[in-house]
Chains A and B, each alone.
Chain A
Amino acid sequence: MNEIQEERIRQNISAAFYRHGLLCASYPVPIILFTSASILTCCYPLLKLPLPGTGPVEFTTGVRDYSTPSHESQGDLSERPDWYRGPPVAYIQQVLVKAAVSPWDNSLVPVDVFRSPLGRVFSVLEEIRNHVYTDRSLEALCLQVTDLLPGLRRMQAVLPEHGCLLVSPGNYWQNRRDLFDADPDLLKTVHQHEPKGLHTSATLKDLLFGVPGKQTGVNLYSKKRVVTYTITIALSSYDARFVASLRARLKQLHPSANCTLREDHMVHVHFKEEIGIAELIPLVTTYIILFAYIYFSTRKIDMVKSKWGLALAAVVTVLSSLLMSVGLCTLFGLTPTLNGGEIFPYLVVVIGLENVLVLTKSVVSTPVDLEVKLRIAQGLSNESWSIMKNMATELCIILIGYFTFVPAIQEFCLFAVVGLVSDFFLQMFFFTTVLSIDIRRMELADLNRRLPAEAGMPPPKPGPLRPRETPPPPRPSPHTITLQAPAFRNLRLPKRLRVVYFLARTRLAQRIIMVGTVIWIGILVYTDPAGLRTFLAAQVSEQSPLGEAGLPPHLGVAPVFPGGDPTSTLSGLPAPEPTPLPENQSQGHRAAHPEVAPVSSPQITWGPEDEELWRRLSFRHWPSLFSYYNITLAKRYISILPVIPVTLHLSPQEAIDTRHPQDTHHAPPPSIKTSDLQTDLTLYKVAALGLFAGVVLVLLLFCLYRVLCPRNYGQNGVPHGRRRRGDLPCDEYGYSPPISEISPLLLRGHSMDIECLASDGMLLASCCLVGHIRVWDAQTGDCLTVIPNNGLRRSSSSGCWEHRDGWDHISACEAESLLGADFREPGGGAVGGQDVDIFPIRRRTTPARPALFGDQPDLTPLIDTNFGLSPPSQALSSSGFDFGGLVEKAYQEHEPSPTLAFPPSPPPVLPPELPPQNNGDWDSSVWAMELRGNLIATGRSSGKLELWDAVEGSLRCSNEDGVSGITALAFLNNRIVAARLNGSLDFFTVEITKPLGLLQYRGPPGRGSLPPSPCYSSEDVISCQLTRSVQCAHQKPITVLKAAAGRVVTGSQDHTVRVYRLEDSCCLFTLQGHSGGITAIYIDQTMVLASGGQDGTICVWDVLTGSRVSHVYGHRGDVTSLVCTTSCIISSGLDDLICIWDRSTGIKLYSIQQEVGCGASLGVISESLLVTGGQGCVSFWDLNYGDLLQTVYLGQSSEGQSVRQLLVLDNAAIVCDFGSELSLVYVPSVLEKLD
């Protein structure tokens, strides 16, 4: 009951998802618009939230009706920020003093600019301290500080240690006038507390002066000769009347004539929590982990048009779902109290990118030939159940978390729930739609890209973009060869390339940059943000004839910094004419051109910029001031009262009176130089630091790269690394295998490339291009029998060996000279096996053979060298393919030669007195071979099936019922199945006429998975009869034939796989699911059937029901071979990848990238040992971990040859075939390691 219900729910869900997928793929644009709109709507409340960051936040209130805010929040005042509660830490009252010696007299020295104005600070301070308003003094109101932090002993002399927090420049001299007067060098005193090097936070000078350092005017070359400083008072409580009376008093004492500062606003500044480096490091770490997670997740997106696009879409999905969740929570009144930046990575991890990836994978693995809409819908509905299940689980977990009743966790959970839901929404609408667009693009692009690559026959295209409703056109028939004119091909460049070409042609980028630069310079000059104009003006004024009288030598060079000003040069000059000017006159004029006037009287001006001078300070000014007294401003606020302006005018006489005796001896030039130098040095220091950091970073990255990726990525770089350590072959890991451990046994004897290889565990049969069959002992590697092509010869094993020695010595030179050019030409072509175009004759003689055969490497061992297919009449003529005949002639010629000079041809010991017999078919070549018991079944290109005795090398029986060439053979029990080139399938029965009792079994009965094959003795009469011939088993040539467990499975070019029963040769199933020709099939005793096709897909089938178990899209290009173990499927493809899949779920476990062109052969030795062929080597891999266990090199001469076939024998031996040699590798040591 429960299961039924669950099933129903499942069906409903998947149906709903299916409909949804259809919807999304049908109307992508409206849905994306809708989603974007909803994202924006949900994010709208975020605008009200303060931006994250640690900068202070301000809030301004009026002074008049100010009252200390209460602790309780008042709901009605919505514009009031939530931190504006309770009293502030302190009220800051600044008294801004601007002082100048006026009128300026040329008898004054530069020090006079600030000595006497600074000296006046003490009287103002006195005034402030002594101010009393209705028995309330400053002492009662001000913020009492107790002690400096213990670590700040250095500051002890400067900052007030107890009592009122009242800071002013007077603190430099402990607020004592006598110390000030006795100080010979004020600047030195001021600067001695400045930190060396670079500083960003508030310095002591900033703290005491209360204005940015540049504006104080306390230097020797100040232009304006106005000294500005503040006296900062921190009040603990606000008494409006006291402050007002203080303001009135100061104004009365020191009236500022033209001051129009506004005094009605009070600014409250709220400070966030400071983030130190200690808190930053964990944060940064979590973000690094987050990015690694995103990287590793999105890297798995595969088989789509634009990987980056989809990865971006996935990230956008997650991020905007988070934003939506925050926005929604804010909308419903849940203000986030958690530090958003801290929990954000965890939220992303909880929400995860998994669903997105699963969706992509599911959609991608749907059949490619379906319509896009249907693919999306199918993919969605396939994964619907797991998506829903995962989501429900996550929601449950979060709900459990919600009931921990810890406020922080609850809040996190709330956010996570909303985030999950919105993420689901976005996945369903946004990501699915993006995916559908991508898949559609890929379909179009794929057609463009793939077809020219496939034997060069792109179909005539109707237009660049066809309407998306029409299904993609069927693959062009492989028989038609239509080569496109190159001009026509060039017309259809990809859009991206066209854009690039367009850019390159018009040099658009450079022009845009140029125009942009010009505009930028123009704007710069026009708006003059950097004081360029004043700088130029200063330069001009410098070169004016005014300073020619006694210029100090250092001013001869044009100053680089605008700081070097004419005023300093004027100090030593006699004043031309002191021009005292009334204060309130010509102020604007003077202010505009202060530099033009040769001697300017300092003007004290008050502008709106003076209202809030504290804004120009570092935002850490106040926190650092308070932190000296162990008062934190984090998450608290201070209130800054309107500034009190104080203007001080001092007469020159006063300035002269306050001079220190050393002031006049003060030489200004060095100070200018050093200060210039100082700024210079800072700049250089920063640059050097940056450079150093960059270099260190690059080195670090390089080291990391070396550690993590010590291998060369590109395959091109592989060969040069292989020959580094002398002659010893070593693999790309730099590892040379110990020679003694695994030594491959070389089986030599064939003169041509080996085409077919068959084994039954004890014997090993190989057949080369010429058609010679050799039988070897699979244990020892001895050559037992040689069946030459040109007759029924057999040779004893001893003869074989004998010959081998001779052949080795006399060697190839003779062979080459004998066999000559016609030997080599077809031979070379056949070795390549790929290039159809070289052989016009082949195409002529086999019109039925599709051109597509050419690009399937694994077919070449089965089907090749069809030059023998030419009519027998041409066989002995000079067609160039009949080297069987040639070889025969060579024998005849060499007949009288001494016995040692053996003929170099492959059939070694050929008693010359025996005339060639004609019952062997030596006109045609062997296309397929199988070995069972001691019978070798060979299928020839002429359609003849022959049965040979493996031990004696005699022909036992042959069948010539078929005419079409046999492309594949399967030999199981006493049945032989032959697939022919015309697509028909013949079933033969081998009958032995002898009593059953004599039928002996060879080998241990339980050995291996194969049933023990009967051994046929030489006395028996063996006949081979055609029991059934299935004409037109496939529409197109059969490419693969495999038999096991009483089933025969065929795969064909016509995209189908058929399953036959062996006993009655009845077709059980026709399996459809591939969208390309079948290239690889695997079936074993346990009825596991897997097939791979040209479209790169791998299907796993249930042989009993004929249903498809799983379907994965694995390779870019053909699947070249397939092997299964009990837990996984191993596939290799034309893309040189070996992929390992989980058999039950179809999930790719990992993949191994191989060198180019050697990834075709595969074998599984045991459950966890995989062997692959490479360039002259075989590699062993641990399947569980994907580790390379060992690489075995097959021989010094075999470097260039790649292993073409690989056969795993029962006794843990591997036979592989490279070129004309076989190699037998025993792997006992590896097996021991695994057992």
Chain B
Amino acid sequence: MPRLEEHCWSCSCSASVKTQELSSARWVVCKTAEMMSIITSVLSHAYGSLHSLQSANLIRRGLVLFIVGVVLALVLNLLQIQRNVTLFPEEVLDTLFSSAWWIPLCCGTAAAVVGLLYPCLDQHLGEPHKFKREWASVTRCIAVFVGINHASAKLDFANNVQLSLTLAALSLGLWWTFDRSRSGFGLGLTTAFLATLIAQLLVYNGIYQYTSPDFLYVRSWLPCIFFSGGVTVGNIGRQPGSTFVFRNET
């Protein structure tokens, strides 16, 4: 561990000296890109609202989910990178934000899809989700999810099995605390399975790699993370549409 730390520390230090101007420029570019995306989303949103109320609601929901997914992916990925859990090729890891630009996008899309699937599934099964439907509990859920990620990156466990078991227990606890619905559990499991499969394939094809894989090519706690992520995103997606605008809720 100290070796890792040392590396990180010196790495960040040197990077800050060398790429100061560079990263600031990129930062501006990044910001403008963000702005542009927001503007386009506003436009698309306006168009959507012209089209139909339902789809506007859907678009708004999807947009929020996408943004949440992108931000979470960025942050959590950063957490993993700085703890040297995942390794990206050197040329990819030029700066912090250009590192694997496709990851946040993928995560955002996945979040939007999963988050919109949850209410659909609820409606389909005919059991609307009633348990803890406030934004407060949703934020709590997000915090716990970030905590699980944090734990996966930062805790020093004796062995990987222990770590994975702990995280599995934590993510089950997350589901029990914030969801407690069959559909949530099922969809979470499906998400975990598919996402782990995709991660395996990615690593197999050498897109990136884990420092110490213990479950084929990836870390064994990865399904837990995906499961809790699915539950979290579903929690956001299930928020009543009127409260999504932060307008109708008092």
Contact = CB atoms under 8 A, between A and B. Distances in A.
Contacts of A346: 143-144, 147, 150
A632 B9 contact: yes
A286 interface: yes
A349 B12 contact: no
Q: Interface residue tally of chain A, by bracket?
A: 35 or more
A735 B9 contact: no
B49 A703 contact: no
A1007 to B, nearest CB: 24
A322 to B, nearest CB: 15
Interface string A622-657: 011001001010100000000000000000000000
Interface string A324-355: 00000000000000000010011001001100
Given A627-B10, A704-B38, A735-B49, A292 B139 contact: yes
Given A289-B142, A703-B38, A1149-B133, A1186 B49 contact: no
Contacts of A700: 31, 34-35, 38
27 contacts: A278-B8, A281-B74, A281-B75, A282-B75, A285-B146, A286-B150, A289-B139, A345-B143, A346-B144, A406-B155, A407-B156, A408-B154, A409-B155, A703-B39, A708-B245, A709-B246, A709-B247, A734-B49, A735-B53, A1137-B250, A1142-B130, A1149-B130, A1150-B248, A1152-B248, A1185-B240, A1186-B242, A1189-B54
Given A149-B14, A286-B146, A735-B49, A1185 B82 contact: no
Nearest to B142: A289
A300 interface: yes
A408 B156 contact: yes
A406 B158 contact: yes
A707 B38 contact: yes
Interface in A11-36: none
Contacts of B21: 197
A277 interface: yes
A1006 interface: no
Interface in A985-1032: none
Contacts of B130: 1127, 1142, 1149
Contacts of B128: 1168, 1184-1185
B245 A709 contact: yes
Contacts of B13: 274, 276, 623-624, 627
B245 A278 contact: no
A1125 B53 CA distance: 26
Nearest to A735: B53
A713 B246 CA distance: 10
Interface string B121-146: 00100001010011110111011101
A406 B53 contact: no
A290 B166 contact: no
Interface string B141-183: 0111011001100111110001000100100010000000000
Interface string A728-759: 00000111000000000000000000000000
B14 to A, nearest CB: 5
A1166 B166 CA distance: 45
Given A710-B42, A1185-B128, 20 more contacts: A274-B9, A281-B78, A282-B78, A292-B135, A293-B136, A296-B134, A296-B139, A349-B143, A408-B156, A710-B245, A735-B49, A1137-B250, A1149-B130, A1150-B133, A1150-B240, A1150-B248, A1151-B250, A1184-B128, A1188-B53, A1189-B53
Nearest to B133: A1149
B91 interface: no
Interface in B212-250: 240-243, 245-250
A403 B123 CA distance: 41
Contacts of B211: none
A681 interface: no
Interface string A1187-1230: 11110000000000000000000000000000000000000000
For A149, A1149, A1185, which residue has the most chain B Cβ atoms within 10 angstroms?
A1185
A1226 to B, nearest CB: 20
Contacts of A1188: 53, 241-242
A1187 B75 contact: no
Contacts of B52: 735
Contacts of B53: 733, 735, 1188-1190
Contacts of B246: 708-709
Name the 10 nearest CB pairs between A and B, nearest first.
A276-B12, A1186-B240, A296-B136, A1187-B241, A293-B139, A1184-B128, A296-B135, A1186-B242, A297-B136, A703-B38
B82 A406 contact: no
A1205 B2 CA distance: 74
A278 B10 CA distance: 13
A989 B191 CA distance: 65
Given A342-B150, A710-B245, A1153 B140 contact: no
A278 B247 contact: no
Nearest to B19: A151
A253 interface: no
B41 interface: yes
A630 B10 contact: yes
B189 interface: no
A696 B28 CA distance: 10
B24 to A, nearest CB: 9
A733 B48 CA distance: 11
A707 B42 contact: yes
A630 B80 CA distance: 23
A627 B14 contact: yes
A401 to B, nearest CB: 8
A1190 B75 CA distance: 39
Interface string B68-105: 00010011101101100000000000001000000000
Contacts of B140: 293, 349, 352
A400 B169 CA distance: 10
B62 interface: no
Contacts of B63: 707
A706 interface: yes
Interface string A609-630: 0000000000000011001001
Contacts of B136: 293, 296-297, 299-300, 353, 357
B10 A149 contact: yes
Contacts of B134: 296, 300
A723 interface: no
Nearest to A408: B155
A276 B9 CA distance: 8
Nearest to A1151: B250
Contacts of B146: 282, 285-286, 289
Contacts of A276: 8-9, 12-13, 16, 82
Given A300-B134, A1142-B130, A1185-B128, A282 B166 contact: no
B57 A1187 contact: yes
A637 to B, nearest CB: 16
Nearest to B81: A278
Contact of A1186 (B35, B71, B241, B250): B241
B170 to A, nearest CB: 9
A449 interface: no
B73 to A, nearest CB: 11
Contacts of A300: 134, 136
For B49, B162, B242, which residue has the most chain A Cβ atoms within 10 angstroms?
B242
A1142 B130 CA distance: 9
Interface in A1164-1182: 1168, 1182
Contacts of B79: 282
For B9, B128, B157, B173, which residue has the most chain A Cβ atoms within 10 angstroms?
B9
A1099 B159 CA distance: 57
Contacts of A290: 143
A302 interface: yes
Nearest to A736: B50
A734 B119 CA distance: 25
A290 B150 CA distance: 15
B82 A278 contact: yes
Contacts of A282: 75-76, 78-79, 146, 150
B18 A151 contact: yes
